[in-house]
Amino acid sequence: MIRIVALLVLVIPGFLAGVGIKLMRDMLFGILQPPFPVLWVQFFAGLLLFVGGLGFVAGFIFRRDRKQNKVQTKFQAKK
């Protein structure tokens, strides 16, 4: 059960990052999605979703690897 919860914790931000990429791509092609009034707002919302989702997944993986001592010495937790 814990593995399923961990998978969901990674899939949801990954999905949001994918939505962010789609919003930025649509802005470049001039396609305005319904909840946004102008294209530049759509782009920045997509950028925020992408950076937030990617940062969360990267931080999750980094924290897990740090716990298992699989990171370089400069990234290991100080005791």
35-65 pLDDT, tens digit per residue, is 999 999 999 999 999 999 999 999 999 999 9
pTM: 0.85
Predicted pLDDT of residue 76: 87
**pLDDT over 90 at 12, yes or no:** yes
Q: What is the mean pLDDT of residues 67-79?
A: 86
Predicted pLDDT of residue 78: 78
SS3 of the chain: CHHHHHHHHHHHHHHHHHHHHHHHHHHHCCCCCCCCCCHHHHHHHHHHHHHHHHHHHHHHHHHHHHHCCCCCHHHCCCC
